[in-house]
Amino acid sequence: MPMASEKHVLDLDNPEKLLRVLELMLDQAYLGIVFVDPDGIIRFMNQQYEELIGVDRKETYGKHITEYFPDSRLPVVLKTKEAELGWKYHYKGRETLVVNRIPIMKGNQFIGAMTQCIFKDISELREMAGKLDLLETKVQKYKRASNDLLTPKYNIDDIKGISEPITRLKDMALVYAATENTILITGGTGTGKELFAHSIHHASTRSEGPFVCINCASIPDELLESELFGYAYGAFTGAQKNGKTGKIELADGGTLFLDEIGELPFRAQAKLLRVLDEKRVERIGEVLPVEVDFRLIAATNRDLHFLMDQRNFRQDLFHRVSTITMDIPPLRKRIEDLPVLVNHFLQGGSIRGMKITDNALRSLMTYSWPGNVRELKNALELSTCLVKKGDPIDTDQLASHIIAGESKIFHNIDRDDLKLKKKVKANEVQSIKSALSLCRGNKSRAAKLLGISRSSLYNKIKQYSIS
Ligand SMILES: Nc1ncnc2c1ncn2[C@@H]1O[C@H](COP(=O)(O)OP(=O)(O)OP(=O)(O)O)[C@@H](O)[C@H]1O
Ligand SMILES: [Mg+2]
C-alpha cells in the first residue's frame, strides 16, 4: 500500500488532478484572474472573477473577452505583448478596479494573456494605503522613541586617570556593574559621573538592553512626570493623542540613568520610590500598571544630605537609591590625573596632536579646577585657539585665572582643606608623584617641571617616602 506522501505525489502526477488542484488554488487566491488565448478567447476564470462579473464562468469559456468587457484592453496587450501594471479599470460604470494585464509566454511561444484584478474596488486600495500610512506613522514614532534609547557612549577605558581614587573607582564600577543594585554617583560638576554611568551599563549584563538617560534639571517640573512615567491615551488636554511611553518603560531590560536626581520634584520622588519598590510603572491616567525591569543609576552634584535637611529630598528615596554610592573626588584632590587627562585631550578631538610646555602644565597643576575635568577640557580647547600653528601651548595661552590659580584655590576648597599644612603637604606629594610619572621617573626633568632644584626634589622624595 502506498505511503501517504507517495499517494500525494501520485495524485499530482496525474495531469487532470494537478489541474484541478491548481484551479482550486487559483480559486483561493485573493486576486481575480481571467486568462485568454492569443485570439482573446476566455479559457479560464477563477472564482473571484466569476463573482465579480456575476456570470457562471463555464458559460464564458470559449467566448471573446469583449463580450463581457467591451472596453477590455486585453486585446491591446495581446498585440503589444507588453504588460500593463496597476491600471484603473471602470467596470460597467460601477466599481473602479485596479488591474494588471500580463502577456504569457511559454518559452518562445506566446500563449495568451491574463488580467489580474488586484483590488475589486479602488476604496480597498485607499484602505490599504491608509493602513500603510498608519504603519509608516507608527514606524516613525518608534524611530523617534528609539533615538531616546541611547546606547552608551563610553566604556570604562574612556575614563582616564592613574590616581588611586580613580583606579579604585574604576575597579569598583566593574564589580558593581555585575550586580543589579541601584547605584548613586556623587561628585562635583564635571568630575565624570556621566562617564561612570555609561561605563557601568556597558559592563553590565544589561549592556544589550537600552540605556535611557533623563536629566531631571533640564526638564520643567510639570513635564518631568510625564517624561518619566508616560501618560495614557487622552490623559489630559494637550497630550499626544495616543499617549506616551515614559522613560522608565523605555528602559525595560536595560538601565535608566537619572541624572541630577537632586532636582527631581518632591511628588515625582514618591512616585519613583513606588516604581523602584514594585518594579511596575503606572502611566498618568492609566489604571493598569506595567511591569518594568530596569536598573537605576542616579547621579547628582548636589549634597543630598543638605537637600534632605531642607526637606527637598525624601529620606526614603535616598536610602533606596544609595545602597551603593560612588563618590568621585574633585580633580584638585587627584591632581596626578591631570597630566594623563591633558595628554588624552591633546591627542583627540579638535586639538589632536598638540603639545604643551612644562611651564604651562605646572600652572595647570596648581589651579583648583572648580569645574573639574570638564573645565580642564574646555580650557585646553580654548588655549589651542590662541596658539600659533605648530607651537605648543604655553602659559601665555592659559586664561589668567588659571595662571593665578593659587588665589582661586581658596575660594573653592572644603572646610578640612583649610588645614594649610596638611594641604600643602598633600599637594606637594601629589605634584611630585605626577611630575615623576609624567617624566617617567627622570628626576632631573621632574625637578625642572616642578620648578625646584634636583637636590630639593631628592629631599622631598625622602621626606615624604615617595617610592
Ligand atoms: N576621567 C575622565 N577621563 C576622560 N574624560 C573625562 C573624565 N572625567 C570627565 N571627563 C570628561 O569631562 C566632561 C564632563 O564629564 P561628565 O559629563 O561625566 O561630568 P559630570 O560629573 O556628569 O558633570 P555634571 O555634574 O556637570 O553633569 C566630559 O566631556 C567627559 O568626557
Ligand atoms: Mg552629568
Find the CATH number of the domain harbouring 62: 3.30.450.20
The residue whose CA is least distant from atom 24 of ligand 1 is 189
Same domain, 306 and 348: no
149-153, 300-304, 344-348: which has the minimum mean pLDDT? 149-153
- Give the pLDDT of residue 423: 60
- Give the pLDDT of residue 103: 93
Same domain, 153 and 95: no
- Give the pLDDT of residue 94: 66
Cα torsion for 406, 411, 415, 417, to the nearest 10°?
-10
Same domain, 110 and 174: no
Residue 420 has pLDDT above 70, yes or no: no
Give the integer Cα–Cα distance in Å for 194 and 190.
9
Positions of E strands within 91-182:
96-106, 109-119, 149-150
Provide the domain limits for residue 405. Answer: 332-463
Same domain, 96 and 229: no
Would you call 34 helix, strand, or coil by DSSP? strand
Would you call 36 helix, strand, or coil by DSSP? strand
Does a structural domain hold residue 24?
no
- Give the pLDDT of residue 434: 76
- Give the pLDDT of residue 260: 93
Ligand that comes closest to the CA of residue 163: 1
Query: What's the mean per-residue pLDDT of the chain?
Result: 83
Residue 128 has pLDDT above 90, yes or no: no
CA 25–ligand 1 middle distance (angstroms): 66
Give the integer Cα–Cα distance in Å for 41 and 23.
18
Same domain, 304 and 438: no
- Give the pLDDT of residue 48: 86
Q: Is the pTM of this model over 0.75?
A: no
Placement of cell 513606588 in the chain: 274
CA 259–ligand 2 middle distance (angstroms): 6
- Ligand 1 nearest-atom number relative to CA 160: 3
Predicted confidence band at 138 (pLDDT cuts at 50, 70, 90)?
low
Residue 329 has pLDDT above 60, yes or no: yes
Does a structural domain hold residue 421?
yes
Does a structural domain hold residue 268?
yes
Does a structural domain hold residue 366?
yes
Average pLDDT over residues 321-335: 95
- The three grid cell numbers given for residue 327, joined into one nine-digit string: 563618590
134 φψ region: left (φ > 0), alpha (ψ -120 to 50), beta (else): alpha
Same domain, 324 and 350: no
Q: Which of 116, 114, 71 is nearest to 90 (CA)?
A: 71
Question: Which tens digits make up the pLDDT trace of 8-58?
Answer: 555 667 778 778 888 888 888 778 899 999 999 999 999 988 888 888 999
- DSSP H/E element including 342: helix 337-347
- Give the pLDDT of residue 292: 93
Does a structural domain hold residue 22?
no
- Ligand 1 nearest-atom number relative to CA 192: 18
Average pLDDT over residues 249-261: 93
**Which of 329, 348, 383 finishes a domain?**
329
CA 293–ligand 1 middle distance (angstroms): 28
Find the CATH number of the domain harbouring 456: 1.10.8.60
- Give the pLDDT of residue 274: 93
- Give the pLDDT of residue 347: 86
Does a structural domain hold residue 306?
yes
Find the CATH number of the domain harbouring 297: 3.40.50.300
Same domain, 346 and 322: no
**Which of 102, 121, 140 finishes a domain?**
121
Give the integer Cα–Cα distance in Å for 159 and 46.
70
Placement of cell 549592556 in the chain: 207
Same domain, 325 and 340: no
Side chain identity, residue 285: G
- Give the pLDDT of residue 408: 42
Does a structural domain hold residue 44?
yes
Predicted confidence band at 126 (pLDDT cuts at 50, 70, 90)?
low
Cα-to-chain-centroid distance, residue 71: 57
Ligand 1 pocket mutation pick from 150, 195, 378 by most atoms within 8 angstroms of CB: 195
Give the integer Cα–Cα distance in Å for 356 and 191.
22
Predicted confidence band at 404 (pLDDT cuts at 50, 70, 90)?
confident
Same domain, 297 and 172: yes
**Residue 211: strand pairing partners:** 150, 255
Residue 350 has pLDDT above 80, yes or no: no
Does a structural domain hold residue 408?
yes
Same domain, 161 and 307: yes
Higher pLDDT, 231 or 422: 231
The residue whose CA is least distant from atom 23 of ligand 1 is 190
Contact 258, 206 (CB under 8 A): no
- DSSP H/E element including 32: strand 32-36
Query: If you ran DSSP here, which 8-state letter would residue 333 be given?
Result: G
Residue 1 has pLDDT above 60, yes or no: no
126-140, 226-240, 278-292, 410-424: which has the minimum mean pLDDT? 410-424
Give the integer Cα–Cα distance in Å for 216 and 321.
15
Count of structural domains, the chain: 3
Same domain, 306 and 337: no
Ligand that comes closest to the CA of residue 302: 1
- Ligand 1: residues with CB < 6 A are 159-161, 187, 189-195, 301, 341, 344, 373-374, 377
Would you call 296 helix, strand, or coil by DSSP? strand
Same domain, 322 and 224: yes
Q: Which of 465, 449, 430 is nearest to 164 (CA)?
A: 430
Would you call 212 helix, strand, or coil by DSSP? strand
* Percentage, residues of the chain above pLDDT 90: 45
**Which of 311, 329, 347 finishes a domain?**
329
- Give the pLDDT of residue 51: 85
Contact 197, 299 (CB under 8 A): yes
Question: Which tens digits make up the pLDDT trace of 442-463?
Answer: 888 888 777 777 888 888 888 8
Residue 236 has pLDDT above 90, yes or no: no
Give the integer Cα–Cα distance in Å for 267 and 253.
26
- The three grid cell numbers given for residue 20, joined into one nine-digit string: 484541478
Burial class (CB in 10 A: 0-12, 13-18, 19+), 71: exposed
6-20, 109-123, 353-367: which has the minimum mean pLDDT? 6-20
